[in-house]
Structures are given as C-alpha cells and as structure tokens.
C-alpha cells in the first residue's frame, strides 16, 4: 500500500488578493513561506516529496523537503492546478459580474479552461502514477485546492474550500483508493491561516 499525503501549497501572492490562478504562476507570499515552515512539524515521517510544476507548489515543497531533511522535490506537471481559462487572474466578484451565476454549481466550467472531467482524469492518473512509482512508501505531494477537491468529489465527498497547507491522506492498494479525513498542517485557529476562495 502507498500512502499519499496530498496537500495544498502555501498562500501565493494571488491567493492573498483573491485572484483565480489556474495555470498562472504567481509566487508564494511571505505568509505562504511562513506557513510552509510551520507545517514541517505536523507532517510526520515521509519517504519522498513531489510537487506540481507551478512555483507556488514547488517552493512550498522545497521548504517542506528541506525541513524534513529529504531530497529536493521531484516535479510532476500532472499535479498542477486546473486551467481556469478566461477566469485566470480575475477575482470571484469579477467572474460573477461577467458570467452571472457561473460559480453557483459545485464544479463550475470556466470558459476556455479544463473541464471537470479532464481534471479528475488527470488527478487520478497522477496519484495512480505515484502509487506505482513508490509502492509501500509515504509520499508527500504538494498540489492545489482545485485538484484535491476534484478527487474528493470523485470519491463521494462534497468539499468546502481547502485552506493553504490543508490536505488529505490517500491510501492506494492494488488500484483501490481510499481517502482519509482532511488534515490541516497548520493550526486553523492561528492568525497565519487563511482560506481564500480562489483557485
């Protein structure tokens, strides 16, 4: 059995101002770097760290790996956030103004972006590939809120927004995937923790 600790990156500069990121590549904010450093103590034992190829995830993963005394993270483009197409760089209010009602459903479909079905397919392939590459190991995978929530929905959980450095444990055994409850790697009651409602 492979255990994948799938977590969202630290706060990015666009998270801080509520802009939808998708495949855009803004860096971590100084708060995001602090969040990653705080999270190290809560991770426990892992064998390897991997990351999405977007720098907010890569930089979070690098801080975590260094804090855990592990090798720099391997980069996996398949773990990147959903492409949000025409919504990239916009705030929730701007999206609502230009596309009234478009955000009302559980999995909105951004114009020109990645479909929900394509995102789930990519996410399943990514975690399945990790299980094949690291059998019997505990893998810390730094990804994005949209991808993690898509997996939760696929497995029958209707998720709330995911805080930075929040995530889930996935256990994969012989192709069977089980998702544990959400976990927060930083105390949700600390002032440092934010729950932005943007991808």
- For the entire predicted model, the pTM comes to 0.93
Tell me how many domains the chain contains: 1
Beta-strand runs (E) in 52-190? 74-75, 138-143, 166-173, 176-184
CA distance 163 to 109: 22
Structural domain contains residue 97: yes
Structural domain contains residue 101: yes
Q: What is the CATH number of the domain that holds 105?
A: 3.40.50.1240
What are the catalytic residues?
Answer: 9, 81
Structural domain contains residue 174: yes
* Lookup: tokens for 179: 């998702």
Structural domain contains residue 196: no
Q: Is 98 helix (H, G, I), strand (E, B) or coil?
A: helix
Structural domain contains residue 150: yes
Structural domain contains residue 92: yes
Structural domain contains residue 136: yes
Structural domain contains residue 191: no
Q: Domain of 58?
A: 2-184
pLDDT tens sequence for the chain (199 residues): 999 999 999 999 999 999 999 999 999 999 999 999 999 999 999 999 999 999 999 999 999 999 999 999 999 999 999 999 999 999 999 999 999 999 998 889 999 999 999 999 999 999 999 999 999 999 999 999 999 999 999 999 888 889 999 999 999 998 899 999 999 999 765 545 444 444 5
Burial string for 68-96 (b: 16+ CB within 10 Å, else e) reads: beeeebeebebbbbbbbeebbebbeeebe
């Amino acid at each position: 059995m492979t255990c994948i600790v799938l977590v969202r990156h630290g706060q990015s500069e666009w998270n801080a101002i509520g802009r939808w990121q998708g495949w855009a590549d803004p860096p971590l904010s100084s708060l995001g770097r602090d969040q990653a450093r705080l999270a190290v103590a809560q991770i426990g034992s892992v064998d390897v760290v991997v990351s999405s190829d977007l720098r907010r995830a890569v930089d979070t993963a690098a801080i975590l790996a260094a804090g855990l005394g592990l090798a720099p993270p391997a980069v996996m483009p398949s773990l990147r956030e959903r492409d949000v197409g025409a919504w990239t760089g916009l705030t929730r209010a701007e999206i609502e103004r230009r596309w009234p009602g478009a955000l009302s459903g559980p999995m909105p479909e951004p114009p020109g972006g990645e479909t929900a079905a394509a995102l789930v397919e990519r996410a399943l392939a990514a975690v399945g590939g990790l299980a094949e590459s690291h059998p019997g190991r505990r893998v810390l995978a730094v990804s994005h809120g949209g991808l993690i929530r898509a997996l939760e929905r696929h497995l029958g959980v209707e998720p709330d927004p995911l805080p930075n450095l929040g995530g889930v444990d996935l256990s994969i055994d012989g192709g069977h995937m089980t998702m544990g409850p959400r976990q927060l790697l930083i105390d949700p009651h600390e002032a440092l923790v934010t729950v932005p409602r943007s991808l």
